[in-house]
Structure 1
């Protein structure tokens, strides 16, 4: 990785495409990106899905890039007329866009000069000043402009691009977690958990109701970037579970 910083590193994911909003294509990228960034120590704090409308893409990109350390996008950099993400990024950053000689060389080497059709050449159009993101699957590169990383929507290609760009990212301290299972309904623990959260403000405590053979149970997950803080809060939750069970 590029470096690790003490302050949280934040991110947003912008999913672009009419096919996602219509339900014709089922998104597989949100969960992957969330898991991937969490493993790196980057907090994914927002996901937006927008249609293939330039103004909507530009609006979302400019809002997200101002709010987070990184923005990642998926979709809309293919060879067809409705793949408008690259043009929208150029407009958002106020730069020109044209066939990039680096991207053209990659596509020529992959397809051969005689097979580089007008449609395929569209995938070599890159906003001015952008860096390329390697695509080991189908070769057509993504690109990075400012703090925005523009990737394909096809999951296998997007995942390969994430692997390629990961070493360039700043990462924060990784979030640690501990799960505790309680043979109790969530309501029995709600007040105790609220107090534990208040007593340990540097943690995040989530409770997740479950059913087990018709019984309501709860899993409590404690998260923190500091092991000592995590252990203290988890011990408090374990005590709350034990003491609540003793009253039944």
Structure 2
């Protein structure tokens, strides 16, 4: 049985401008791999309503799960919630349970729940809230889309609350063989082993270290015995390299 699939949609002008380096994609990939969910696609879009709607519709129709990051804060350019609602033709408004969470949080901190902060309680109809143990403002799940904050610490906390509720498959494991030869020298053998092991993902990643040109051969799959057998075969064909 194939593992469930997933995509990520990172939202924000600051990522596309280079001002902010995205860390959430790397973390999501690691966590999904451990959970047996295959991350198959990642996109980055601007803070543009139509672009978000288009991307959400495309990704949610193609993959089992979609994870978004960014654009659910209190400012004018935080438009993700509205775009998600539009993508699924759902109305959106301030929801009582989300408002109650924010009201308690700001009352405890002695700050006002003003109109800007209340924007973070706007939730599309039919969505389930995602817990935010750091700053309280919730994310939400609508259909197969998990809408989370862009701040890495909050994204990680939200993801930790979401993952236990998802059904995964077999965790993907990997093995790596370092070969101090360029890709052109290993391509034929690597292609042959890949053809013999269609159940594994086998890739090559060149490197240059201290003047040495080489290639890391990476095998990925859910079955450790199959990985070890394929790794042994690569070592045999490359002359017992460790």
TM-score (norm. length: structure 2): 0.94
Most deviating of 25-34 and 83-92:
25-34
Q: Deviations over 1:7-43 (max 9, x none)?
A: 2111100011111111222212111111121111111
Q: For residue 62 of structure 1, what is the aligned residue in structure 2?
A: 57
1:3 maps to which residue? none
Q: 1:125 aligns with which of 122, 125, 134?
A: 122
Q: Distance in 1 between matches of 2:103 and 2:52?
A: 29
Give the Cα–Cα distance (whole angstroms) in 2 for the partners of residues 34 and 154 of structure 1: 17
Distance 2:135 2:122 in 1: 16
Unpaired segments ≥5 residues, structure 2:
none
Give 1:141-160 correspondences, 5 Å limit. 141-160=138-157
Partner residue of 2:81?
A: 86
Q: Tell me how far apart the structure 1 counterparts of residues 23 and 177 of structure 2 sit (CA, whole Å).
A: 29
Coordinate RMSD, CA, aligned: 1.6
Cα distance between partner residues in 2 of 1:115 and 1:212 = 55
Partner of 1:236: 233
Show structure 1 runs of 5+ residues with no match.
Answer: 1-5
In structure 2, distance between residues paired with 1:190 and 1:161: 42
- The alignment status of 1:13 with 2:8, answered yes or no, reads yes
Given candidates 173, 176, 180, the residue that maps to 1:176 is: 173
Q: Are 1:101 and 2:96 matched, yes or no?
A: yes
1:205 pairs with 2:171: no
Aligned length: 239
**What is the alpha-carbon distance in structure 2 between the residues aligned to residue 178 and residue 30 of structure 1?**
22
Counterpart check, 1:196 vs 2:193: yes
